[in-house]
C-alpha cells in the first residue's frame, strides 16, 4: 500500500512539473487532489485495513497531499514569472523597427512661438476661413474699385463667382487683413488679437515670393493708442522670437487700409546686414508692413473713428523663419523635401 502511495506521489509530482500553463496546472490539481483522484481512492479503502497500517497510510497520504499543494504553488509561481504577453514565436535577436518621429514644420514652429509671445502680451488668437469674398478682402479694407490687387492677375477668384460682386464674389484670401473687420463685427472693441493663416497670390515665384504663403497679423483697437507703442511692441516680439535684440527700421508705406502706413524692416540675419540674395543685397528685409487703421475700415466694422483707433502689424512668417535659420530660398518651405525639413528637428 505504501509503495502504491509512493508511486502516486512520484507520478503526481511529474505531472505538476510538466504543466506548461495555469490551465494545465489546474487540471493536474483536480486530477491529483479531487474526489476521484487515486489518492482519494486509497483513503477510501482505509476502512478495511489494520489500525497500524491505517495510521501509517493515513499519515503518508496527508504528507503527499501537503507535498502536492506545495509543488503546485511553486509551479504556479514559476509559470507566472516566466509568462510573456507575446504570442507565438518571438525572435529576440532580430533587429528592431526604427521609430521615425516627425517634427513641426519650421513655419508652424515660428507661428507657435509668435502665439506664445503675443499671448504673453494679452492678445487673443483668431482664425477664419481661407475662402473670403470681395467684400471682406477689398471693399471693407478701403481698396479702390479699380485697385490692381482686385484683378485676377493678383487674386485667385473662385470659378462661377467672378461676375458677381461684394460678399458673393469669392476668392482665396489674398491677405489676412479682411479677417480684422470680421472679428470686430463679431466681438466689437476694444480688441487685441492675432490671426495667423495661409494667403494666396497669383504671382511668379522666386527666392522671396510664393503663390501661397503664411502671414501673421496682429491688430490692436482701443481708445488713445499711441503710434510709438506699436513700435515698442514689435521690438519686444522680435526679441522674444529671436532671443536677442534685432535692429529694425521704419519706413513710410502705403496700404489702403492704413492711414498712415509703414513698413518695418529688420536687419537681414542671413548676412548680418552685409547683403545677400535674401535681402536683395540691401542688408535689410521687409518683414512687417502695417500702420494705423484707416477710418473707413473702422466704419466698415461699425466703429466710430472719432472714438476708436488702432494699428495693424502684418508679420511675414516665412521671412522670419528664413532669418531664424538662414534659409535663402522661400520655395524650400513648400518643397516637401525631407532632407530640408529634417534639419529642423
Ligand atoms: Zn541678407
- Rounded-to-integer distance, Cα 255 and Cα 261, Å: 6
pLDDT > 90? residue 240 = no
pLDDT > 90? residue 331 = no
- Rounded-to-integer distance, Cα 89 and Cα 111, Å: 48
Report the share of the chain in percent with pLDDT over 90: 14
Model confidence over 167-226: pLDDT tens digits? 888 999 988 888 889 999 999 989 999 999 988 988 777 666 678 888 899 999 999 877
Q: What is the model's pLDDT at position 119?
A: 92
- Rounded-to-integer distance, Cα 150 and Cα 145, Å: 8
By CB neighbour count within 10 A (0-12 exposed, 13-18 middle, 19+ buried), where does 171 fall?
buried
Mean pLDDT of 51-57: 82
Ligand 1 centre from 94 Cα, in Å?
51
Q: What is the model's pLDDT at position 47?
A: 75
Rg of the Cα trace of the chain? Answer: 40
Ligand 1 centre from 329 Cα, in Å?
12
Q: What is the model's pLDDT at position 89?
A: 75
pLDDT > 70? residue 87 = no
pLDDT > 80? residue 230 = no
Reading the block at residue 164, the C-alpha cell is 458677381
Ligand 1 centre from 176 Cα, in Å?
26
Report the share of the chain in percent with pLDDT over 70: 97
- Rounded-to-integer distance, Cα 289 and Cα 110, Å: 18
Mean pLDDT of 236-241: 85
Q: What share of the chain is helix, strand, coil (3-state, %, to 5)?
A: 45, 20, 35
- Rounded-to-integer distance, Cα 165 and Cα 134, Å: 7
DSSP structural state of residue 232 = H
Ligand 1 centre from 66 Cα, in Å?
88
Ligand 1 centre from 325 Cα, in Å?
12
Amino acid at each position: 500500500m505504501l509503495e502504491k502511495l509512493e508511486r502516486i506521489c512520484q507520478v503526481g509530482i511529474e505531472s505538476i512539473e510538466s504543466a506548461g500553463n495555469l490551465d494545465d496546472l489546474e487540471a493536474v490539481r483536480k486530477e491529483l487532489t479531487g474526489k476521484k483522484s487515486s489518492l482519494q481512492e486509497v483513503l477510501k479503502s482505509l476502512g478495511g485495513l489494520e489500525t497500524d497500517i491505517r495510521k501509517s497510510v493515513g499519515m503518508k497520504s496527508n504528507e503527499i497531499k501537503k507535498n502536492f499543494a506545495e509543488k503546485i504553488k511553486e509551479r504556479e509561481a514559476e509559470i507566472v514569472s516566466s509568462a510573456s504577453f507575446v504570442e507565438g514565436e518571438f525572435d529576440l535577436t532580430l533587429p528592431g523597427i526604427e521609430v521615425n518621429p516627425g517634427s513641426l514644420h519650421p513655419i508652424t514652429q515660428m507661428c507657435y512661438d509668435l502665439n506664445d509671445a503675443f499671448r504673453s502680451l494679452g492678445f487673443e488668437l483668431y482664425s477664419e476661413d481661407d475662402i473670403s469674398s470681395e467684400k471682406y478682402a477689398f471693399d471693407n479694407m478701403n481698396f479702390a474699385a479699380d485697385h490692381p490687387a482686385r484683378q485676377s492677375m493678383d487674386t485667385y477668384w473662385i470659378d462661377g463667382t467672378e461676375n458677381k460682386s461684394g460678399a458673393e464674389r469669392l476668392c482665396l484670401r489674398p491677405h489676412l487683413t479682411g479677417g480684422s473687420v470680421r472679428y470686430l463685427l463679431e466681438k466689437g472693441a476694444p480688441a487685441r488679437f492675432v490671426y495667423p493663416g495661409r494667403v494666396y497670390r497669383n504671382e511668379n515665384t522666386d527666392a522671396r515670393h510664393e503663390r501661397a504663403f503664411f502671414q501673421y497679423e496682429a491688430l490692436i483697437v482701443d481708445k488713445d493708442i499711441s503710434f510709438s507703442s506699436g513700435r515698442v511692441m514689435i521690438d519686444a516680439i522680435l526679441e522674444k522670437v529671436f532671443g536677442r535684440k534685432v535692429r529694425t527700421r521704419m519706413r513710410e508705406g502705403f496700404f489702403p487700409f492704413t492711414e498712415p502706413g509703414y513698413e518695418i524692416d529688420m536687419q537681414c540675419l542671413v548676412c548680418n546686414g552685409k547683403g545677400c540674395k535674401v535681402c536683395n543685397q540691401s542688408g535689410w528685409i521687409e518683414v512687417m508692413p502695417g500702420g494705423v487703421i484707416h477710418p473707413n475700415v473702422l466704419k466698415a466694422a461699425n466703429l466710430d473713428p472719432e472714438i476708436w483707433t488702432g494699428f495693424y502689424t502684418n508679420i511675414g512668417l516665412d521671412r522670419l523663419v528664413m532669418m531664424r535659420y538662414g534659409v535663402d530660398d522661400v520655395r524650400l518651405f513648400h518643397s516637401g523635401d525631407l532632407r530640408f525639413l529634417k534639419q529642423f528637428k
